[in-house]
Amino acid sequence: MKFFASCAKGLEYLLADELLALGCARATATMAGVNVEGTLEDAQRAVLWSRLASRVLWPLVEFPCEDEHALYRNVAVVPWREHLDDTMTLAVDAHVSGEAITHARYAALRVKDAVVDTLRDATGARPSVDVEAPDLRLNLVVRKGRAILSVDLGGGPMHRRGWRRAQGEAPLKENLAAAVLLRGGWPQVYADGGALLDPMCGSGTLMIEGALMAADVAPGLMRHGEVLPSRWLGFDEKTWARMYAQAHERERAGRGALCDVFDGSDSDPHAIRTARENATAAGLRDAIRLEVRDMAALPVQSTPRGLVVCNPPYDARLAADAALYRTLGAALKRAAPGWRASLLCGDAALAQATGLRAAKKYQLFNGALECSLIVCDPLRPTLREDAQARALSEGAQMLANRLRKNLRNLKSWRAREAVECFRAYDADLPEYAAAIDVYAEADDPDATWLHVQEYVAPAEIPEADVRRRFGEVLAAAREVFGVPRERVATKTRARGKGGSKYAQAGAGLGPRGETFVVREGAARLRVNLFDYLDTGLFLDHRPLRQRIFREGRGRRFLNLFCYTGAATVQAAVGGASSTTSVDLSATYLQWLSDNLQENTFEGRAIGGDAHRLVQADAMAWLEADPGRYDLIFCDPPTFSNSARADDFDIQREHVRLLRAAVARLSQGGVLYFSNNFRRFRLDTEAVAAFADCEDISAQTIPQDFARNPRIHQAWRLTRS
């Protein structure tokens, strides 16, 4: 069974790891949550033990939802007497997007009406509404014309642990505090005998969460007490009682063995009073030392190893400024130079103002506020490490500055579109002629890889200058992204007889033959950065693949010259009724097969007879194939002179290719045609004889390739 665990943006991968550790069969990160495969017991265990989830949602029904009438009708047919009775109270939370239904409160009201009317018609009585503490809380999501109605198994926001009695002006949610601690590696630091320090502790959230984590206290124990989190009739009360009793046993053992390693301070006496009140409510009054102290007076720590956690102010109301962050950084380097730090800063500029060198950087959201979490280990590097960090040449520093500017410019777009693999730099500075692509692993958010391609330099540029500049490109990239050498794949053009060609650079530095999985929208795709000219994923075709995902549901899809099949996977994940993928390369088809096996549709693995892989010359196969297709994607190579097929030249053969492809379209079918031959010219007059053709190139160039608008051309064709 599939269920959904929601969380704050930026916590998805941590939450996926946590749910897998709790025993779920599969957990796949998506925007602001995780799609989980597991049993009802797994879902209830997540309610009790997850430190990161905001809600755990168990689906009851999913259906097309074109308007409010469809919403009411589909909710009303649910057998509600299996889920609640007329003595129970009810509440509905709704989240809507798109054009079908635009008002969340109205959508929630229609769901409530459907439930109440159904029960009243069946029993003559109706349940009451209680928005604060209902017996059954339902959650509705309407997106892209589909609705999912679920039971909120936790009965409400799970960040509320039950110990908070008071709070300051800008409290940190408990699940975000848990993420700061986990990113800093607090469980391992504590296991190794380390201490926890927060020099700006406010109401004590980080200290209390850290102590409860160390004491092995389930987050749901205090939140629910002896009361069930939900009185939904499908809730497994016996299983909950067993898990609850086991959690109590672990709590007793953990609190009894808790070490005296927790120190919090703040310059505000009111904040310390608040923190003490909360610590007392959490049963930790004697476990956490709390005192009024100016940050600059932080004493040198006697414990050789530990973790500093801190959530310094970044709201203008709280007078956040760079000077405060500089003081914080200086105090930490002086008081705990060998410790690790996990600091939730307002943004990258404030994080940089600390003067601390971050080993890892993460983007998190505290409510609507986007924050920068930096992890420093150690707080003060050795002199040698400092010298290495400052060793960028003037040119490399200039390139690093440009990279940071590009990342800032792409930041909101990447967050909005959930883009995890992108082009960060494309010869923006003429003397540094290279492209830098970033790939983030789907299953390990800490693992960022770089794919750096050097463009061939003009013949008049001395070879020594070419090598120096490429070295500066690599140095700047590693500095900005903080990636180790072994996670940078390099390709460079080498001059040779017959013209230029790509050659591998840095032999032995990467895991040859190794692939890893990245995420693009709802799809999981395998890439290989080291072994081939290309990585297995053309990043500039991202918008075209998203079109195919959106338009593929229920349609027969054909992918010609399919390469590693990224477009096929998007069609399959989007719900295509069948896919056919044609390529001459057995290597690419195997790659596509692996890609399909990485994905699921509606909870089932993608595969079987509905997804056909054909090893053939695409042109010859197309002219012989009698099939009909509703959606075709054709992205041919510029040239091909394979010994197993006729020579192919896209400029010479494109009219023949497109005529054959359009002939395979069903009534109302669409062909997307693309290629990256910069001098290509479509024979519009010849194509007009058999197809209506629209140039969509400008619509298919993503923002990260806007500096290179000729990266590809694309057209949308339909039968005349």
Q: What is the pLDDT of residues 105-155, one digit of tens each?
A: 999 999 999 999 999 999 999 999 999 999 999 999 999 899 999 999 999
Q: Give the CATH number for residue 20.
A: 3.30.2130.30
Give dist(CA 139, CA 148) in Å, integer: 8
Ranges 478-482, 677-681, 711-715: which has the least confidence? 478-482
Instruction: Answer yes or no: are the C-beta atoms of 439 and 529 closer than 8 Å.
Output: yes
Instruction: Answer yes or no: are the C-beta atoms of 442 and 526 closer than 8 Å.
Output: no
The pLDDT tens digits of the residues spanning 643-664 come to: 666 788 999 999 999 999 999 9
The answer on 414 and 354 residing in a single domain is: no
pLDDT at position 719 is: 92
The pLDDT tens digits of the residues spanning 144-192 come to: 899 999 999 999 999 999 999 987 666 899 999 999 999 999 999 999 9
Q: Residue 664's closest CA among 616, 627, 610, 689?
A: 627
SS3 letters for 430-469? CCCCEEEEEEEECCCCCCEEEEEEECCCCCCCCHHHHHHH
Task: Enter the DSSP assignment of 509.
Answer: S
Residues 16-28, mean pLDDT to the nearest whole number: 94
Whether 237 maps to a domain, the answer reads no
The answer on 712 and 567 residing in a single domain is: yes
The answer on 411 and 313 residing in a single domain is: no
Task: Enter the DSSP assignment of 379.
Answer: S
Whether 222 maps to a domain, the answer reads no
Instruction: Answer yes or no: are the C-beta atoms of 475 and 450 closer than 8 Å.
Output: no
Give dist(CA 127, CA 509) in Å, integer: 65
The answer on 397 and 380 residing in a single domain is: no
Instruction: Answer yes or no: are the C-beta atoms of 198 and 343 closer than 8 Å.
Output: no
> Of 504, 529, 557, at which residue does a domain stop?
504
CB atoms within 10 A of CB 83: 19
Whether 304 maps to a domain, the answer reads yes
The answer on 189 and 137 residing in a single domain is: no
How much is the mean pLDDT over the chain? 91
Domain count, the chain: 4
Whether 157 maps to a domain, the answer reads no
Instruction: Answer yes or no: are the C-beta atoms of 712 and 540 closer than 8 Å.
Output: yes
Whether 51 maps to a domain, the answer reads yes
* Long-range pairs of 236-245 with CB within 8 A, sequence gap ≥ 24: 236/40, 236/41, 236/44, 239/40, 239/41, 239/44, 240/44, 240/48, 243/41, 243/44, 243/45, 243/48, 244/48
Residue linked to tokens 């909101």: 412
Tallying the residues shown for the chain, one arrives at 720
pLDDT: which is higher, 57 or 351: 57
For residue 593, what are the domain limits?
A: 538-719
Signed CA dihedral, 185, 186, 190, 194: sign only: positive
Looking at the predicted structure, is the pLDDT value of residue 501 above 50? no
The answer on 702 and 614 residing in a single domain is: yes
Instruction: Answer yes or no: are the C-beta atoms of 213 and 181 closer than 8 Å.
Output: yes
pLDDT: which is higher, 51 or 481: 51
The pLDDT tens digits of the residues spanning 369-395 come to: 888 999 999 998 655 545 555 568 899
Looking at the predicted structure, is the pLDDT value of residue 318 above 70? no
Give dist(CA 437, CA 403) in Å, integer: 11
Instruction: Answer yes or no: are the C-beta atoms of 529 and 440 closer than 8 Å.
Output: no
The answer on 183 and 147 residing in a single domain is: no
SS3 223: helix
Full-prediction pTM beyond 0.85? no
Looking at the predicted structure, is the pLDDT value of residue 639 above 90? no
Q: Give the CATH number for residue 191.
A: 3.40.50.150
Give dist(CA 136, CA 313) in Å, integer: 37
Starting at the edge strand found earlier in the chain, the sheet holding 422-426 runs 422-426, 434-440, 448-454, 488-496, 499-504
Q: What is the largest CA-CA distance in the chain?
A: 90
The answer on 187 and 317 residing in a single domain is: yes
The answer on 702 and 594 residing in a single domain is: yes
Looking at the predicted structure, is the pLDDT value of residue 320 above 70? no
pLDDT at position 458 is: 86
Q: Give the CATH number for residue 466.
A: 3.30.750.80
Give dist(CA 305, CA 339) in Å, integer: 5
pLDDT at position 226 is: 83
SS3 letters for 533-582? CCCCCCHHHHHHHHHHHHHCCCCEEEEECCCCCHHHHHHHHCCCCEEEEE
The pLDDT tens digits of the residues spanning 455-469 come to: 988 888 898 888 899
The answer on 308 and 429 residing in a single domain is: no
pLDDT: which is higher, 190 or 319: 190
The answer on 554 and 493 residing in a single domain is: no
Neighbour-count burial of 368, counting CB atoms closer than 10 A to its CB (0-12 exposed, 13-18 middle, 19+ buried)? exposed
The answer on 92 and 36 residing in a single domain is: yes
> Of 327, 360, 386, at which residue does a domain stop?
386
In angstroms, the Cα distances linking 648 to 637, 684, 709 are 8, 20, 25
Give dist(CA 440, CA 517) in Å, integer: 9
CB atoms within 10 A of CB 2: 16
The pLDDT tens digits of the residues spanning 349-359 come to: 888 889 898 88
pLDDT at position 498 is: 33
pLDDT at position 645 is: 66
Whether 193 maps to a domain, the answer reads yes
